[in-house]
Structure 1
Amino acid sequence: MKTNKNQTTNYTPTECKTFILPVRDVIDLIGGKWRLPIMTALSFKKHRFKELERQIEGITPRMLSKELKDLEINGLINRDVFDTSPITVEYSLTDYGKSLDNVIETIREWGLTHRKKIINK
């Protein structure tokens, strides 16, 4: 959907929906307050539950557990259980989850630019 800034393109409502639907799918998958911070933390290294809880300020254990389950169901993270005493559980990004790295980096860069713009007003 990239167009020249000076060029206006008229799309039909059906064509417009074909652009909107996949965007909504992504927002449903990684949107919300906690999913991107979880995935960002996991993009640096594997984490245990408590490590993630400490890394992501303000998240409750219940919410972290829920979001981890949803991300696992959607194939974005792995949950590895090790037979130790006590049992050790580590979370990491799947290759599919890593495919969002460029998206997350683009969002981060835009966020930094936006933050500078707002602070300098």
Structure 2
Amino acid sequence: MKMEHILIELFLEDDVDLNQDLEQGARLKDLINSSKGCTIVEHEIAYAGRNGFVHGVEDSIGFGGEMDIDSTIDHSDEKRDFLISLWEKVCKEKIDEAYEEFMTLKNEYLEKK
């Protein structure tokens, strides 16, 4: 069996509490069906907390906005593909750095206890 991760963005009414729904046994399929729509999030780095939720905009960043390239620039598709590959490289490096930093902090903390 293999494991895959996917980041899905759900569009919900303001009063929906996904954490509560999951704790009461809701399945992802049910949550998607009860949403106003959903999309797969691409080229994103995020911190997912309890129940796998990325809670706020400060907990993630995706390739887009000012990071993206103006489509009117010559060869913009080709340049965009290259920029996305750079973004992927940076994200993976930062994930490795975060792991190493956490392990150092964890070991320091446990040695003090």
TM-score normalized by the length of structure 2: 0.33
The structure, 1 or 2, with the larger RCO (C-alpha pairs under 8 Å, 6+ apart) is 1
Q: Normalising by the residue count of structure 1, what TM-score does the alignment of the two structures yield?
A: 0.32
More helix by share: 1
